[in-house]
Amino acid sequence: MTDRAAALPPDAAARSLWSRTAASLPPASPLQGEARTDVAIIGGGILGLSTALALAQAGVRVTVLEAATVGEGASGRNGGLVVPSLPRIGPADVLAKLGEQHGQRLLTLLASGADALFALVRAQNIACDAVQSGWLNPAHASALAPRVQARVAAWQAAGARCVWLEAAESRARLGSARYHGALFDPSGGHLDPLAFTRGLARAAVAAGAVLHEDSAVAWAERAGDGWRLRTARGSLTAERVLQCTNTSPPGMAESPGAALAAASVTLIVYQLATQVMPDAARRAVLPGDEAFSDTRNNLLACRWTASGRLVTGGMAALHTGAMARLPGRLAARLQAVFPALAPVRFEMVWRGRAALTGDFLPRLLQPAPGWLAATACNGRGLVLNTVLGPSLAAFLRTGDAAALPLPVTPPRPIRARPLAALLPQLLLPLGDWQDRRAERQR
């Protein structure tokens, strides 16, 4: 894929890098008139499309309704890191929260998830600059090294291919002397997330799924044992509905979908892409082309692109003016950790949204009979949404919950949600201070 960023006008600065590199997808017409299907999927992101692909391959009539265009939401605006893990929590936490049955299923799915994603890319011939070079999760402070070692052992027991790298090897792989050993999972890597999402759409349509863009669901009502979904120009009657809108619930004031917004909180995450770096920088920093995210509270994560840019991300305590402030701060952070990169200049800044839960676990919610919703990947949606799709497809086909890696529950609002939604921003300065303090205590 070519990097066409330089040809774009200045007013397109907030667009993602991927919108400039991913091959275009032929527009899908809006839903018009009345139509019927077995399964209606609301949301044309990775989860909706991976589920649609599996359903279509099984011979089920499935229709995807996308409010805007495929990949316009979080699926096409993230950093593209393929991470076979969960944030903040490990296998013991998963088993404690979900129980043995669902916990083991989720761990097995995650441990093999990156391999499954890259196998899907190969099977469907999806051109998305996919690189299965591994994922590094290094300890940014010496006191954290035993904790990361324990994390390696726990994920190995859960079936993951990860190994522990001592400090010297981790520093060589990273190109930084600031780390003290690392978890390395060779199944991870990175890709162009928008190109991947569009590739899933092509594959689903080729398998027989119907896709409509510019088809926001404005109203939902019961229709016999199923549901009728109304858009601005048409209606779709379905036996079952799967809602995959994550942090962007459709505008349905009186419907099952309206209850989902309160079940998670939204985190704004900024992504930034540097200038095309010289070859010397690429040989010095992440020379093996791995994806990387460390153990900071305000974690540092980055990966190379096919065109030689480094993509990283960050959060802001105050969103007003953040896209102007963050480049300088994050450039200084990158240069401090990776001196070989200097100077760092960010040429593109964009933002996306992640859905968070208090326990960092995703949810399968059933607000009404025949209506299922999956939400809150907590920033790890590339792998989780890809591999969750076939499990959801099997459940929607058969009604058998035995293969699901999560329990199906009613939506439960997060307590004190307005405050909970502000906590990531409010705690960011404290997290930065804790990170700096931990690094000084070597």
For residue 1, the model assigns a pLDDT of: 42
The answer, yes or no, to whether the previous bond of 26 is cis (omega within 30 of 0) is no
For residue 252, the model assigns a pLDDT of: 59
CATH assignment of 16-78+194-259+360-411? Answer: 3.50.50.60
Q: What is the C-alpha to C-alpha distance for residues 39 and 93, in angstroms, rounded to an integer?
A: 34
For residue 9, the model assigns a pLDDT of: 35
Q: What is the C-alpha to C-alpha distance for residues 218 and 54, in angstroms, rounded to an integer?
A: 26
SS3 84: coil
Whether the pLDDT of residue 14 is over 80: the answer is: no
For residue 283, the model assigns a pLDDT of: 96
Token output for 294:
């460390």
Average pLDDT, stretch 53-62?
98
178-202 burial: b if 16+ Cβ within 10 Å, else e: bbbbbbbbbbbbbbbbbbbbbbbbb
For residue 424, the model assigns a pLDDT of: 75
Residue 361 belongs to what H/E stretch? none
Whether the pLDDT of residue 8 is over 50: the answer is: no
Average pLDDT, stretch 131-158?
96
Whether the pLDDT of residue 57 is over 50: the answer is: yes
Average pLDDT over the chain, rounded to whole? Answer: 90
Quickly state the pLDDT bin for 435 (edges 50, 70, 90): confident
| Terminal alpha carbon distance of the chain | 43
Cross-strand partners of 35: 236
Lowest mean pLDDT among 91-95, 254-258, 282-286, 432-436: 254-258
Cβ atoms of residues 35 and 237 within 8 Å: yes
Residue predicted with more confidence, 257 or 348: 348
Any idea which residue has 């992504």 for tokens?
271
Whether the pLDDT of residue 114 is over 90: the answer is: yes
For residue 402, the model assigns a pLDDT of: 85
Which residues 6+ apart lie within 8 Å of 438 measured at CB? 140, 141, 143, 144
Token output for 157:
């027991």
Residue predicted with more confidence, 417 or 120: 120
Whether the pLDDT of residue 421 is over 80: the answer is: no
% of the chain exceeding 70 in pLDDT: 93
Give the model confidence (pLDDT) of 286-326 as tens digits. Answer: 999 999 999 998 889 999 999 999 999 988 877 888 888 99
Cβ atoms of residues 158 and 111 within 8 Å: yes
Residue predicted with more confidence, 210 or 439: 210
Give the model confidence (pLDDT) of 188-231 as tens digits. Answer: 999 999 999 999 999 999 999 999 999 999 999 999 999 999 99
For the entire predicted model, the pTM comes to: 0.94
For residue 297, the model assigns a pLDDT of: 86
Whether the pLDDT of residue 275 is over 70: the answer is: yes
Quickly state the pLDDT bin for 4 (edges 50, 70, 90): very low
SS3 69: coil
Average pLDDT, stretch 136-161?
96
Token output for 36:
């019927």
Give the model confidence (pLDDT) of 353-391 as tens digits. Answer: 888 888 889 999 999 999 999 988 888 899 999 999 999
SS3 420: helix
Token output for 436:
């700096």
Lowest mean pLDDT among 2-6, 38-42, 427-431: 2-6
